[in-house]
Chain A
């Protein structure tokens, strides 16, 4: 009985790992898209209303992952070091120049995030479903071997 339960748990874990890897890829893609949208919003808020940055960021309602990264807690961040540096740099340096400078800075960052978003999207399309399938396949293989 215990053996059966352990086998089921093990198989479930294998499938779960595959699913989580796929989820991580999807999350990365979505976060980059969110950053792109955030930049568009910031751009329109500062160029049209010239609202203060604090107010704009409050209204943006950024994901917890991005908020944690900006507050210095990057343990659960799905970004790599280069991406983290870019995101933190952008938000740390916002508000330090005039309107033209800010727009230029935001457009620069957006073009970089677009590339990251495309890459993350391609990786997800290519490997996301594969990871789920491999997880399931591996769990079935394990199941057969152990039984």
Chain B
């Protein structure tokens, strides 16, 4: 293929042309490097681009990895001590071969895209293998409730006491509604299919976006690989939750915007329409993703202004940033109170706690341990620390190279700017309140971090003469970054299924608690006012379709009846103010400390600092109380009718 062919192809294939030679650091010569093709015209003419290379072999290795993870899950359910090791082996069988192959210069663009799509899907399947028969992750119940409300009523914006903000960002549930009503599939089955497709879309769209930013297929592949190392990727963004759909939609929007920045041709009305549709869908699906997308477009506009200084007709995503901000403001104004009530505490408490810590007034969070005091095994702690160090080193190296190679590339500079707050997000992790805010930023910051790390890998490491030793070092580096993300993103007890644990989200959902929740709907009907601990509350509020009383919605802390050893005035006031009709009491709460830091809700006594389990007397005090019926007994869980107390004189 000669340069004439490429240029001819570029004119033909407007949508797939790489970043222009002006903004590309190496111009078209960069395209001619084996494995760095980015032009559709080039692809169409290149025989090698039509091959899948080693994708099938790597798919088999990944499938073996999934098989090992499935065995690990099954072993973990029976408490097998080898399950954790098997999980890691299975995980690395998926990640390692893909990392090694993407680092090589040999794969075609098709193979690279196939590899990132494959890895994205296989990592998603790890979450599905963890819970193959029903949703078990915490946020999934909130969104199940919203989807179920839409299925029952046929309309949006029903009240959801589990997550009040969910019904006003119903993008996920809209698609689920279309799937369930037309196919007859359950919400669970439709959700699994939808998130699987969204996951592949995310991986491939990110690849195209990074390819636009770098003009390099290898950097695009590596950046997408590093994005998957963010702590939220394996479980949090694989659950049936609004962010899991919003991120792929945002990536899709970014690809559309980056394509509109290409070439001298004016953006067509059709592409403008695609961009507006994608922005609208993202912003109405998830609040933080919509906000991040808008902020990123603003940063991109700013870097474009810097790159275009002195130029009259330089490309800029300015109008998309304005449109995005306008949509965010319009939608936030429509749903305002629900959003601010939900987000404000998260956004405020982290920086406040960090400030207190800086002033010597706060306490340091114990790193790499859960709220029940269980620390990670030392190898995991080492990998966790090492991954942070390697990311910081990679950022230091990569930012320098971004500046050297891409200082005239507005998109690359915007991505680099997005990586800059990473150290601050690490600082937030030092406090209990900040850890939540920090963990919610990783999937956004990694958009930039992944790009900078990929540039560092390419420029500092891989562009030099390639040999096995160099490849092994790279795979080792990438694997530590990836495993560190897994370590930071999910506690050991959350990675695998297993026996019941106290206040441990997916590990607290079992046959008994699900059975009790279903009983409430079958025999009491929906929308009775319930108070319950964190896990049983999610279940009676979703599968039970009950009206859970919460501090967030009702401004009543419902925790006292679960903590006071004898029934006292505080309990009575709580029941009366919350107009609580039924109480779900799970006696197992007294058998351990809460893994997630709270038994009932944030704001309860000793939130994040429980030192002793709940007094068993607190959980049995309703037995034998006059006028308090104990309507159901399942062994560990009992349902009490306390309405008589709510109406006591």
Q: Do A and B come from one complex?
A: no
Which A residues lie at the B interface, using CB under 8 A? none
